[in-house]
């Protein structure tokens, strides 16, 4: 039972669901789990997709985590977390340098359907799904299941989704705020979107990972178009060829370049998206004229 505090009880009751993927917690503490981030609460039992595929099951362990000595470190942010490989499984370690010991250690294989989670005792009532574990698990989980996580804002309008992709500073949050103020459709995110192929269709999903506009909603719709953003002195749109669009998408996608066996299916899926969904480069100003311009181009591309 989910209360106003968003407690998650024993046995996985109250699973988070991101991009239609249930994330179930096994063996939670007797007092249940709390989801402290309000954005994540919107994804408890939310975003049902027409997909009966597998879930991500996270088992909370009471024993100490395995020793990292002897494992190969394959990725390190040098700020808060690193990833190790023991030859059989991957081990994510969240350890900000100012703390004496890791907050948590999580082990999973390349399909990320079963996770062993070793958390710090002081955090035992916190739900294990949070940065960076959630994005890491979904990246691996979706890699071999026709899915991709990308830096993009997302809008649902007339039951169709439109993605506005770009790196930090490209204008995702700025455009999102303009669209919200103009009351055009429903924004799902101003920072991260997930695209999955389900029943032959490309479906765009909102995520709990908001940008500076703070927009994060559970929802999905068939993907109608992708716009690659850039700030400009005027409002302009240009259609991109499939190969050029794929080249623009890949740097914005979450891809483990350190792990070629996982990176390759993500790259292949990005190219598949661009072969199925029209893509455009969109320059826009930050005033009302951008909204009037957007209304016109939506009629043309949808």
pLDDT at 2: 29
User: What residues have CB less than 8 Å from 266, skipping those under 6 apart?
Assistant: 139, 143, 148, 253, 254, 255
14 pLDDT above the threshold of 90: no
Q: What is the mean pLDDT of residues 215-239?
A: 93
Locate 192 and state its tokens.
Answer: 């991260």
Task: Write the pLDDT tens digit of every residue in 187-207.
Answer: 999 999 999 999 999 999 999
| 64, HSE (Cβ side, Cα atoms, 13 Å) | 4
pLDDT at 12: 41
Task: Write the pLDDT tens digit of every residue in 147-172.
Answer: 999 999 999 999 999 999 999 888 99
What is the DSSP secondary structure assignment for residue 215, as one 8-state letter? -
123 pLDDT above the threshold of 60: no
Structural domains of the chain, ranges and CATH numbers in brackets: 7-143 (no CATH), 147-301 (3.40.50)
Residue 48: pLDDT band by 50, 70, 90 thresholds?
Answer: low
- For 119, the enclosing helix (H) or strand (E) is strand 114-119
Q: Rounded to an integer, what distance in angstroms lies between the CA atom of residue 207 and that of residue 130?
A: 12
CA 198, chain centre distance (Å): 17
Locate 159 and state its tokens.
Answer: 């039951």
pLDDT at 7: 41
pTM: 0.91
Residue 269: pLDDT band by 50, 70, 90 thresholds?
Answer: very high
300 pLDDT above the threshold of 80: no
Residues in the chain: 302
Locate 72 and state its tokens.
Answer: 């190969």
Residue of 122 and 94 predicted with greater confidence = 94
For 41-88, what is the HEC assignment? HCCECCCCCCCCCCCEEEEEECCCCCCCCCCEEEEECCCCEEEEECCC
Q: Three-state DSSP class for 153? A: strand
pLDDT at 288: 82
pLDDT at 124: 58
Task: List strand residue ranges (DSSP E) for 120-178, in order.
Answer: 147-157, 160-165
Task: Write the pLDDT tens digit of every residue in 54-90.
Answer: 899 999 998 999 999 999 999 999 999 999 999 999 9
Share of the chain above pLDDT 70, in %: 91
Angle between helices 260-276 and 242-249 (to 10 degrees): 140
Residue 33: pLDDT band by 50, 70, 90 thresholds?
Answer: confident
Q: Rounded to an integer, what distance in angstroms lies between the CA atom of residue 255 and that of residue 31?
A: 37
Residue 32: pLDDT band by 50, 70, 90 thresholds?
Answer: confident
């Amino acid at each position: 039972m989910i209360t106003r505090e968003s407690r998650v009880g024993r046995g996985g009751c109250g699973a988070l669901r991101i991009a239609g993927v249930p994330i179930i917690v096994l063996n939670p503490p007797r007092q249940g789990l709390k989801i402290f981030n309000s954005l994540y609460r919107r994804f408890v039992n939310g975003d049902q997709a027409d997909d009966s595929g597998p879930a991500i099951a996270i088992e909370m362990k009471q024993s100490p985590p395995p020793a990292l000595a002897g494992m190969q470190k394959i990725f390190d942010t040098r700020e808060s977390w690193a990833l190790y490989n023991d030859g059989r499984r991957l081990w994510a370690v969240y350890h900000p340098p100012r703390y004496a010991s890791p907050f948590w250690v999580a082990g999973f294989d390349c399909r990320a359907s079963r996770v062993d989670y070793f958390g710090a005792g002081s955090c035992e009532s916190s739900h294990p799904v949070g940065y960076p574990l959630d994005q890491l698990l979904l990246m691996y989980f979706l890699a071999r299941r026709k899915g991709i996580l990308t830096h993009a804002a997302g809008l649902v309008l007339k039951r169709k989704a439109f993605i506005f992709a770009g790196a930090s500073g490209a204008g995702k949050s700025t455009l999102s705020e303009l669209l919200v103020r103009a009351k055009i459709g429903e924004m799902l995110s101003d920072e991260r979107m997930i695209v999955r192929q389900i029943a032959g269709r490309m479906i765009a999903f909102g995520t709990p990972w908001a940008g500076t506009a703070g927009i994060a909603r559970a929802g999905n719709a068939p993907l109608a178009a992708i716009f690659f953003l850039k700030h400009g002195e005027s409002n302009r749109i240009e259609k991109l060829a499939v190969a050029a669009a794929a080249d623009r998408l890949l740097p914005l996608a979450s891809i483990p370049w350190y792990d070629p066996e996982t990176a390759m299916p993500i790259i292949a899926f990005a190219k598949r998206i661009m072969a199925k969904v029209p893509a455009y480069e969109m320059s826009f100003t930050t005033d009302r004229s951008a909204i009037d311009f957007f209304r016109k181009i939506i009629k043309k591309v949808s």
